[in-house]
Each structure stands twice: as structure tokens, then as C-alpha cells.
Structure 1
Amino acid sequence: MAVAIFLAVGVAFSGWVAFGGDGDTRYRAAPLPGLDESPSPTSAPDVPSPDDLPTPGPETDGPSSAPTDVPTDLPGLPSPSATPFGTPSSPALTGGDPPAGYSTQSDPAGFHLAVPDGWLRTVEGPSVFYTSPDDSTMIQIFELHGPEATPYESAREAERLASRHRGYEQVTLAPLGTAAMDPVQLEYTYDSTSDGHRRIMDRRFAAPSGTMYAVLVIGPSGDRASEQEIHRAALDTFCPTASCIAP
């Protein structure tokens, strides 16, 4: 089962991504290679060993919401035409009916979303997880509270950290629009010692309140269509509790 860990106290939570490792049955939100996972030969030196890494937890120094003075557009962003699925638009963030085989979860962490029936909820640090019965696939949700001011900046930092992992290959890093606070899709694969080739689908976006979120699906790299479906269902129905209008 894939796991992830926190590299250092100073690393911003908005850059967290999920990685796999051996000998553990839980995922953690964290920026760098998991327990017992060897980083790629190009990894930066002096990365702390797993025994030196702190317990995952939210950052307290970063802003809790996006600033109001960010630019309305970011020149030089890659074209949103490379989106992996769906139309380049912001999530409705008001909830929606779950598709067949899914149920809407009113999560105690303060949001609603649809997850496949029978999946188990767990919490690791600041992240909420919904895991498939066979432990092969999971949804991960967490708020972004780091220094990065926009979803794109957060995704770029997550991609930078993810690229240090063994077998990393980027599939896409695409803003879903041209405004600074539009959502961003990051997708990549990497090699897990215990679970083989893994795929991460990571959408980062801002709620009307300014709070930014990441919603990830982590699973086997060969199940992309299934993982897209799970990710789409979660995103189409996601809403902060205060914004939900659907039953």
C-alpha cells in the first residue's frame, strides 16, 4: 500500500503530494518519497532519512486563504487545451447528485463529495482518505495552507517535489483556465517498491471563500479510465459544507 511522508517542518503544505512505500497500510500527505522508497539518482542531496521526518501535519505559517491582490491572469501559463478530461472550468462547488454506484459523504472535515460505495474513510494528519475495499485505490482531500498564492503555484511546487521520486513521469500539468485562481490539473506516475507503477491525479482549486483544496486519486497506473471516473465524480460533487446546496 502506498504511503507518503512529510519532508521537513518548513515545507509548505500546499505542495504536498502522495507517494508509496513499503510496510504500511496508510497514505500520508507529504511532499517527498515514502518510507523505504529510494529517490531517483537525481534527487537533491541531504534529504532526511525516514526516521528523521516529522509526523505529517498542517502548516501554521502559511495563509489560510488566497490573498485578494493576486493578478487576474498569469502570463506564460501553459495552454489549458491540454486538459486530461472535461471542460476547462471551475468546479461548481455547490454539490451535485452522485452517479450510480457512488454515495455523497458529508465529511466531518467540512466538505461533501461523492465516493464509490463501500469505500472506507480514514484520516492521516490534515488529509482525509477514502480507500477502496482492496486498498488499491484511494481519494485524498486536504486544504492548502502554504505560501503558494494560487492553485497553479501550488501544483508547480507539488510537481517539483514529485519529480524527485523514482520512476517519476509527468502526464500533465495544466491550468484549467487563464485566470490566476482557476483550477489546475496535475497528473503523473511513479514507481512504488511495494505497489508497482502508480498514478496520481491531483486537482487544485479555490473555493469562493478563498480556501484552496487539493482532491487526488491515487491508484495503479494501468487503471487510468477508472481513476478518471472516480476523480470526476469527486470533483463534480465536491463542495465546502457552507457552499453546498444539493441534498
Structure 2
Amino acid sequence: GAHATPTRTRPARGADAPSAPSGFHLAQDPAGFSVAVPDGFARSPQGARIFYLSPGGTFRLGIKAAAPERGGPLAVMRRADAGGPSSNPGYHDGQVTATTHGGHPAALWEFTWSGFSAAEGARHTYDLCWEQDGRMYDVWLSAPVGKAREAREYFDVAVDTFAPGRDRP
């Protein structure tokens, strides 16, 4: 037919900003970065963290930029994992994996925890941390455990399309 099945391609890195896949839009954040978020998500800054929330807060995409920390992303994520039980009630299945992001050293932290309310139930979080141009970035997404597949897609798109922005030192 006239409509070819879309194939998932990773955006090319470089001068051209990545475009958002179908069902997403590229958010140009006032903090200077850009990222593709699912349509309908609303920006909700909370201190140093900037969230994009789905209606009702089912899916929570978070972004944080900070000064690099001792040991780099892997050490930072391992410390976060060690502190998981105190910061996330019901913390379990914590896993930290060394990886790279756009050629930069990175770490992926995944865990499950009790969530915000008994009614909603347990949540699963994906968190990628990397260093780039003298800054440390965190992009994470949490969602109810039953929506982990959708959450992983939202997370992958956010990570693939995130651009730090040019107005930071």
C-alpha cells in the first residue's frame, strides 16, 4: 500500500537535531536542552530536576544536568543503587550496567520499587547517566511495572533524542 511500515532508525548525531518519532514531539526546554517526549506529556520542574509527566503521572520522564561527580557515571549510579532502599521504598532488583552514550562513558541503572501509592502499585525505573562536555546528565523514566514495555520505548526515544543545548558553560 501507500503507507510503508515505519522502521525504527537511530537519529544521526551531528549538527542536525534529531526529529521526534510518530506520537512524540521535540520539546525545546527552557533549561536549554531538547528531548522528544510523548504527545500529551506536560513539563513539571521540581528543583534541579525537570519532569515531563503523562496525564495522571502514570509515566514520569525526568532530566537532570549537574557538575560531574567523583568516579564518573558508573560510580554515581552504583552509589545511587546502594542508597536505593533509603530513597525508594520497597527498592529491589537494582541493577547497574556500564555502557556508553554517543561515545561518552555512561551507566544504566534499573530498579523496581513500591511506587507512590498502594493504589497505583510498584513502579520500574530506567535511568541513564553520562558525562558530556564537562557536565553530567541523567535521563530517567519511571512507570508502573505493568507498563514496562511502553516505558522502555519512551525511555529509549528520550535518550536517543536528548540534546544538551548550547547555552550552558
Instruction: Tell me which interval the TM-score lies in, with the shorter structure as reference length.
Output: 0.7 to 0.9
Partner residue of 1:173 out of 92, 96, 100: 96
1:93·1:238 contact (CA, 8 Å) conserved in 2?
A: no
Q: Where in structure 1 are there 5+ consecutive unaligned residues? A: 1-90
Percent identical: 28
Counterpart check, 1:206 vs 2:121 = no
Structure 1, residues 4-43: CA drift from partner, whole Å, max 9, x if none? xxxxxxxxxxxxxxxxxxxxxxxxxxxxxxxxxxxxxxxx
Match of 1:131 in 2: 53
Q: CA separation of 1:232/1:241 partners in 2, compared to 1, >3 Å: closer, same or farther?
A: same
Counterpart check, 1:191 vs 2:108 = no
Q: CA separation of 1:202/1:135 partners in 2, compared to 1, >3 Å: closer, same or farther?
A: same
Q: Distance in 1 between matches of 2:14 and 2:107?
A: 15
Counterpart check, 1:101 vs 2:23 = yes
Using the TM superposition, give the Cα deviation of residue 167 of structure 1 relative to its aligned residue in structure 2, in angstroms. Answer: 2.2
RMSD: 2.1
Match of 2:6 in 1: none
Using the TM superposition, give the Cα deviation of residue 149 of structure 1 relative to its aligned residue in structure 2, in angstroms. Answer: 3.8
Which amino acid in 1 is paired with 2:121? G
2:68·2:135 contact (CA, 8 Å) conserved in 1?
A: no
Q: CA separation of 1:183/1:193 partners in 2, compared to 1, >3 Å: closer, same or farther?
A: closer
Structure 1, residues 167-197: CA drift from partner, whole Å, max 9, x if none? 21125310115xxx51111000011351310
Q: Distance in 2 between matches of 1:203 and 1:145?
A: 16
Using the TM superposition, give the Cα deviation of residue 137 of structure 1 relative to its aligned residue in structure 2, in angstroms. Answer: 1.0
Which protein has the bigger strand share? 2
Partner residue of 1:227 out of 136, 146, 151: 151
Secondary structure of 1:118's counterpart equals: coil
TM-score of the superposition, structure 1-length normalised? Answer: 0.56
Q: Distance in 2 between matches of 1:141 and 1:189?
A: 19
Q: Distance in 1 between matches of 2:155 and 2:72?
A: 21
Q: How many pairs align?
A: 149
Q: Distance in 2 between matches of 1:190 and 1:226?
A: 18
Secondary structure of 1:141's counterpart equals: strand
